[in-house]
Structure 1
């Protein structure tokens, strides 16, 4: 494949990946603050993709990376995982995949070899009869790999008699801004969630600041790079004060990628809230809504993993904390397998006052790692 066609293909996959994140975003309540990691969810589903055959596999591939082949999907997420782990300049990133299975249950050896090779996924057996100890082992894995930011992803009562395996992804990110905000410039001001709802919260401020900025008819976009500048936090602030929900209806991956790619150094006066958001999501309904249906039914074909199983539960937790120094973000995803049965340059600084609901995307080379709404 020539370099130009290879770059074109990479661009298409990046758009597909962004579309997957947008599709999941639209399943949420857009009037509340939330955060999730489309990458953590995609990596957990990549473990399922290796397990799947036929229509079950096709649905997962189409939802995650529409237009990709199975091999391209595997290479894409394998490359992203490996690329994240070589973060520089004090940026900490951890990505860990693991399969926990019932002691009395046999997973096909070829599957375990494939996920180890592609996604560095480890595997261990647990005595699922001891629900407390099994849940504790899975939760400990998540806690250790998110540096204690996500302590619990699964409850003991989720370890049912039919459960045979829990596919787990844990993802942690911590980085300082390339240009930190001064603590003495932080002060309280009002954030307006809606016309009739406001609250006082601490805002980060920076005046006459040369920052990466772009805009279109609907959004002002401020991109804040970290010390490792391949990572950035982009804030999509609607120009219509309370028009986030409406703007999101028409927002697509092409627009997102154009706005994030076409930022230029611009004089900006920044006011944006410090925030910490934590979210727990049940993913079954959201994943079915984006086209992954068969894997959740008795007709699921996950036979590369084992025969006669389906996805009984998919769960996700994420958090993001943004302050003067930088960002901490973490996410975990579990997928349970059970036995079947059941910008413009200007001389004057541009005002960027994020005092109303906005979308944010934390990315690595424009790959969306975390997506959320600040309301």
Structure 2
């Protein structure tokens, strides 16, 4: 383990406002400049350095007010170590959980990142990737964002369903997800099932609804169009699910279960059902989708189809960094499929007789 030398000279330099150099910091610690640089810049190679040594390096850097010159590093290596992330919005739910996985991996690997939200505006979806490239990002991650043009730099799309040159799509097995939910409800005796579809602009809406239709047909469940509602508007609050469910109730069509597009809309649906005098799950069972952090703490706790959202974010970041490190002409994965999981909680029960 390194033993720091007397820091009197360095502290005098700090007090006088002089910049502490990497060489001086390394000599103070009795370590090589390469080792100190790996830790300070959070480079992948730092993993080979003992954690205790890493802590000593960072502690000394804080005490001596050492700041790495990222601009000089970028110019020297012709790298920015910066990633661009494009999301529809920053709010509780889908995007936040994906972002947590992206952040964890990029921070671990020593990358900086920009996050932009386009609010489903077509002109921003087209403009933001170009603006991020002008800021020298080395790669892009698009979350629930439709990418139409060929990518000029490595790009990974979470919930991307289009085959676009230069893009790796990370997608859920929606057929399996729909089957898990529908089998769960039919085993509980439900045949009259209402559905809430996602907004038109959501990347997953079309493929998920098609998967639900196929699963229902395979199980002999007839879908009544009057028992199908669709989320409208850009709000990410439960109010959209609340409004759709009010319309489903007002239609007069009886249903004993409801399968919502996501957990947020399921939470709104439960409120609307309660206001109509329906008890959950005695009168109506409710299934969500995503398994956001608050799903387990609803009353009743929400049964849902879990997307491994945080893991999808980490996988997106890992895949992107591998593509950045690879030669430009190297092959890259076009699609990576992840698996869902049914999480049974208290919002579903046997169909009423």
* Greater fraction of residues in strand: 1
Determine if the TM-score, normalized by the shorter chain, exceeds 0.5.
no
Higher relative contact order (CA 8 A, sep 6+): 1
Q: TM-score, normalised by structure 1?
A: 0.23
Higher helix residue share: 2
Point out the structure with max Rg over C-alpha. 2
